[in-house]
């Protein structure tokens, strides 16, 4: 037994993964990409197979007080397949395993499955494997997504080069703001049960939190336009954290511009209601389920033709840091929540 | 919201999966085999890719009181890769995700990883993906194994035919008996802390519980001998339950013979100490991590050349039931724990 006791918080989530990954070396020829990207890439002779797995825990990733079970199933699927899309792949199969406490009823599990099936049908994914096991504690959901990608189409995190443009899809920070709103109303409700939650006028941010979609169509559009990103990741931890995954893997820095970061009006309004700068949820909120990718500068005109994508900055040389540039030209260093103490 | 409330216990584990699976249809051409086998089978153009996932929950699948963390990591890997072997595949990659409560230390997670890496190295598997997330409750481990199999070599559960012989590897019931012993000593220890656990002379059953191995070499031997099983599964729920998965998938019955079921001397002795028939842990104990497979009758001489396998009975016609035949010729119907209330 090892007697050293380093609190987990000292390393943080990514610190821990890095720390553990140091000892790990891929040996099999079929392992094209192991730890350190959205999905594992496996060469089985034809296309690459892509596999990613997510573990969702009650109280951490979802709160059953305000998460309808059907939405929980739906979002679990989006979360899993977004890792496959982020490697420019096409998800094909999904495996779901549940840890269920005895307080649950069959009909509730059916609701989660129904939500999962809805998402699977929408994104043309087969729910191909499942397992249920009893749990002594809360609800646990493990989702594994499997996909394929033509070898030439694979996009990893490590291909960004200085002067590449940085693009994002959709808008950012809405899901996090929706979560804050749901949390606020939950607290009010728990203090005084007679007060019903007031969520009116905030449908967009709540929808983004509870029933997110993934911009898979953008990948089709990029392929059709002959644009292959140099690097790509799905935005799930927050723009700052996910962008730093790219610059770190690619050995570069970046500059993104405050005024270019797409934030929905509802997100901005609510952030102000919460007395926070709307940039905070956009940079550090989670669950956006948007795409972040880089493209060589010379493709700028081609990318301009693609709907729903926006240039937010560019990749810089190694050692030049990761910065967000304000309207006045001031530069603030990006920090990624996941790298610090949680 | 669905207002019906059917307790989960009414369906049992497999009942629930069956119930949910009814609504699920595989649509993608790449989905060769979905729900209902050891692993999902995916056609990505070359070999088939195999993917399986397991969810392990503290207090259900392992008890940290008597499970060394290194062994926990080791066994998690064995559990995951056994599903790939059971389809006659070769595991190549492994993804592990942890849900960790703040009571854990970095060194403890490292110990689990070290155990996992030991098993990965032994079975030539790359630890290719990982994730850690905080947990409000106990330790949760999700393990996804990925493998490949030549299309012609794939063995599913549904190919057993009447008169096929039924084989098992190794011996059965030891891991379950080891668990009972560990549980007994835990209870004694909790009642009186000054009493140290008495595990002497039971190394085999305890080893089978805490650090199981998988008989992967048998698969090589079968391939070399030109024997392709008609059906196969790994014995993890207990011989009865796993055999009934085969007969149910294949639309057959079976007869197995009490006297042929391999049980180690230590298992028998301990079972008697616990006042249970040694057949009970062999039929209904879990975590054996042995192979159960069927082979056409005409191959009997070829299989006789293979080490570590034993014929225990044969497949019968549909509707003829699943029975274990006693020394006196009496027949007792097999029951599978997983199908009943848990």
A8, two tokens: 């987990």
B6 and A131 within 8 Å at the Cβ level: the answer is no
A57 and B129 within 8 Å at the Cβ level: the answer is no
What is the spatial distance between Cα B129 and Cα B115, in angstroms, rounded to a whole number?
16
| Neighboring chain B residues of A40 at a CB cutoff of 8 Å | 93, 95, 128-129, 146
Q: Which of A20, A45, A105 sits opposite B7 (nearest CB)?
A: A105
- Return the CATH class of domain A24-153: alpha beta
Q: Among the listed ranges A72-76, B11-15, B157-161, which one has the minimum average pLDDT value?
A: B11-15
Q: Which of B4, B57, B131 sits opposite A133 (nearest CB)?
A: B57
Q: Contact, B241 vs B284, CB < 8 A? A: yes
Q: Which residue of B has its CA nearest to A9?
A: B102
Q: Which residue of B has its CA nearest to A38?
A: B129
| Neighboring chain A residues of B115 at a CB cutoff of 8 Å | none
For the segment A40-54, what is each residue's pLDDT rounded down to a tens digit?
787 878 889 999 988
Characterize B290-328 residue by residue with b for buried, 16 or more Cβ atoms within 10 angstroms of its Cβ, and e for exposed.
bbbbbbbeebeeebeebeebebbbbbbeeeeebbbbeee
For the segment B267-319, what is each residue's pLDDT rounded down to a tens digit?
999 999 999 999 999 999 989 999 999 999 999 999 999 999 999 999 999 99
For the segment B133-154, what is each residue's pLDDT rounded down to a tens digit?
878 778 999 999 999 999 999 9
Q: Which residue of B has its CA nearest to A60?
A: B135
Query: Which of B105, B106, B147 should be substituted to probe chain A, the one whose Cβ sees the most A Cβ atoms within 10 Å?
Result: B106
Alpha-carbon gap: A32 to the closest alpha carbon of chain B (Å): 10
Question: What average pLDDT does range A92-97 have in this prediction?
Answer: 90
Q: Which of A143, A87, A154 is nearest to A291 (CA)?
A: A87
As annotated, the residues of chain B forming the CATH 3.90.650.10 domain(s) are 165-339
What is the model's pLDDT at position B212?
95
ipTM, 2 dp: 0.84
Q: Which of B42, B100, B148 sits opposite A92 (nearest CB)?
A: B42
| Cα A30 to the center of its chain, rounded Å | 26
B136 and A26 within 8 Å at the Cβ level: the answer is no
Give the CA-trace dihedral at A256, A262, A263, A264, to 10 degrees: 180
| Neighboring chain A residues of B338 at a CB cutoff of 8 Å | none
Q: B29-153 belongs to which homologous superfamily?
A: PurM-like, N-terminal domain (3.30.1330.10)
| Neighboring chain B residues of A48 at a CB cutoff of 8 Å | 44
For the segment A114-150, what is each residue's pLDDT rounded down to a tens digit?
999 999 999 999 988 777 787 877 899 999 999 999 9
Q: Which of A51, A53, A136 sits opposite B59 (nearest CB)?
A: A136
What is the model's pLDDT at position B282?
95
CB atoms within 10 A of CB A262: 17
For the segment A299-330, what is each residue's pLDDT rounded down to a tens digit?
999 999 999 999 999 999 999 999 999 989 99
Does the CA dihedral A244-A249-A251-A252 come out positive or negative? negative
What is the spatial distance between Cα B42 and Cα A149, in angstroms, rounded to a whole number?
13
Question: What average pLDDT does range A329-333 have in this prediction?
Answer: 94
pTM greater than 0.90: no
B142 and A113 within 8 Å at the Cβ level: the answer is no
CATH number, span B165-339 = 3.90.650.10
What is the spatial distance between Cα A264 and Cα A170, in angstroms, rounded to a whole number?
9
Q: Which of B42, B113, B142 sits opposite A20 (nearest CB)?
A: B113
Characterize A226-242 residue by residue with b for buried, 16 or more Cβ atoms within 10 angstroms of its Cβ, and e for exposed.
ebbbbbbbbbbbbbbbb
| Neighboring chain A residues of B32 at a CB cutoff of 8 Å | none
Q: Among the listed ranges A23-32, A98-107, A251-260, which one has the minimum average pLDDT value?
A: A23-32
B133 and A108 within 8 Å at the Cβ level: the answer is no
Q: Which residue of B has its CA nearest to A59?
A: B136
Q: Which of B40, B61, B113 sits opposite A93 (nearest CB)?
A: B40
| Neighboring chain A residues of B3 at a CB cutoff of 8 Å | 107
pLDDT at B128 over 70: yes
Q: Among the listed ranges A185-199, B99-113, B286-300, which one has the minimum average pLDDT value?
A: A185-199
As annotated, the residues of chain B forming the CATH 3.30.1330.10 domain(s) are 29-153
A137 and B106 within 8 Å at the Cβ level: the answer is no
As annotated, the residues of chain A forming the CATH 3.30.1330.10 domain(s) are 24-153
pLDDT-based confidence at residue B342 (cuts at 50, 70, 90)? very low
Mean pLDDT for chain B?
A: 88
């Amino acid at each position: 037994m090892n007697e050293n006791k380093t609190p987990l918080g000292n390393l943080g989530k990514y610190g821990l993964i890095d720390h553990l990954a140091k000892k790990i070396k891929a040996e099999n020829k079929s392992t094209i990409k192991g730890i350190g990207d959205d999905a594992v890439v496996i060469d089985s002779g034809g296309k690459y197979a892509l596999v990613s797995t997510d573990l969702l825990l009650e109280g951490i990733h979802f709160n059953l007080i305000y998460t309808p079970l059907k939405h929980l199933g739906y979002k679990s699927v989006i979360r899993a397949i977004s890792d496959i899309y982020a490697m420019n792949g096409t998800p094909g199969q999904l495996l779901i395993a549940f840890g269920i406490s005895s307080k649950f009823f069959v009909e509730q599990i059916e609701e989660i499955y129904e939500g999962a099936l809805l998402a699977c049908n929408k994104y043309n994914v087969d729910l191909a494997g499942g397992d249920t096991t009893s749990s002594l504690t809360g609800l646990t959901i493990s989702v594994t997504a499997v996909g394929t990608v033509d070898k030439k189409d694979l996009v990893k995190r490590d291909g960004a080069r200085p002067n590449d443009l940085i693009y994002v899809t959709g808008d950012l920070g809405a899901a996090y703001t929706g979560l804050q709103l749901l949390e606020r109303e939950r607290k009010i409700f728990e203090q005084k049960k007679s007060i019903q939650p007031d969520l009116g006028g905030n449908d967009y941010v709540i929808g983004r939190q509870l029933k997110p979609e993934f911009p898979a169509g953008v990948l089709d559009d990029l392929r059709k336009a002959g644009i292959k990103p140099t690097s790509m990741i799905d935005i799930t931890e927050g723009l700052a954290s996910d962008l730093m995954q790219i610059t770190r893997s690619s050995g570069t820095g970046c500059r993104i511009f405050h005024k270019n970061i797409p934030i929905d009006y509802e997100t901005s309004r609510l952030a102000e209601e919460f007395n926070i700068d709307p940039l905070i949820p956009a940079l550090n909120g989670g669950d956006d389920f948007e795409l972040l990718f880089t493209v060589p500068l010379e493709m700028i005109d081609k990318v301009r033709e693609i709907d729903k994508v926006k240039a937010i900055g560019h990749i810089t040389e190694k050692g030049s840091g990761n910065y967000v540039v304000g309207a006045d030209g001031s530069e603030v260093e990006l920090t990624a929540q996941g790298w610090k103490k949680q």
